Amino acid sequence: MLSYDEALASWQDTPLGKTGTFLPLCSIMTVPLSFPEYWVFGYGSLMWNPGFEHQEAIAAEIDGYHRSFCIYSHHYRGTKSRPGLVLGLSPGGSCTGVAFRVAAARWPEVLEYLRERELLAYAYREAYLPVRLRDGRTRESFVVVADPAHRSYAGELPTPQAASIIMEACGHAGLNRDYLINTVRQLVQHGFRDAPLHELLKEVERQTGELDAGMGI
């Protein structure tokens, strides 16, 4: 089997590797099939609830995209009548999170799981982007980025408006504010600080008078 670096070099010679980004939802993973391992970058609930088998989890950062509550949630963190907000990646800046290493033998089932979880009902597109791991390695990683053309795309909302939505919403996975609280907690545990999320959390606290997580994760 090729080493990771050899597989990456081979993939980067392909048209998709050269353009570097998005795959349509219908495309079954065709790149890079020869990798000895795969990586997934999580910047929201994947950080504390990945839901798939992995061999390693390490703090990481991605350049060229930033995290924000830019996607309406009608199921996990809200309802059709009272949608919540979940995180997405938009161009510009950088984003910290957790990268998960997945064995090659497990990748097909993990990819299927991630697509069912992240892509079927939400305003995301999948991408393979370089992620810097805390130990200095760089790995091409599966990541979902916001799709501005999707009907559930909320865009960059003002902090008070986003806080009002998050404060009131609750879905199948629990309170929308728990999603925000747990994201901030995970980042802090890994030594990261996301200033806009901290500002949003303070605004939710101001509007609700509390910061403790409620039900669900």
Residue reference for tokens 């959390």: 201
- pLDDT recorded at residue 207: 85
Model's pTM, two decimal places? 0.82
| Residue 61 annotated to the active site | no
CATH pick for 4-208 out of 4.10.490.10, 3.30.70.20, 1.10.3720.10, 3.10.490.10: 3.10.490.10
Classified as helix, coil or strand, 100 is strand
Give CA separation, 178 vs 124, 181, 193, 210, in Å: 21, 5, 17, 11
- pLDDT recorded at residue 199: 96
First to last CA, the chain: 39
Classified as helix, coil or strand, 128 is strand
Helix axes 195-208, 159-168, angle to 10 degrees: 60
- pLDDT recorded at residue 100: 98
Tokens read off for 13: 């010679």
Contact 4, 105 (CB under 8 A): no
The string of DSSP letters for 69-87 reads EEEEESSSS--SSS-EEEE
Tokens read off for 217: 């994760």
- pLDDT recorded at residue 27: 37
- pLDDT recorded at residue 5: 60
Contact 134, 59 (CB under 8 A): yes
Options 56, 109, 118, 168, the catalytic residue? 118
Q: List per-residue pLDDT tens for the chain, 217 residues long.
A: 545 565 555 545 555 554 444 444 333 344 455 678 999 999 999 999 999 999 999 999 999 999 999 999 999 999 999 999 999 999 999 999 999 999 999 999 999 999 999 887 778 999 999 999 999 999 999 999 999 999 999 999 999 999 999 999 999 999 999 999 999 999 999 999 999 999 999 999 988 776 554 443 3
CA-closest candidate to residue 15, choices 4, 3, 27, 2? 27
**Phi and psi, residue 109, nearest 5°:** -70, -35
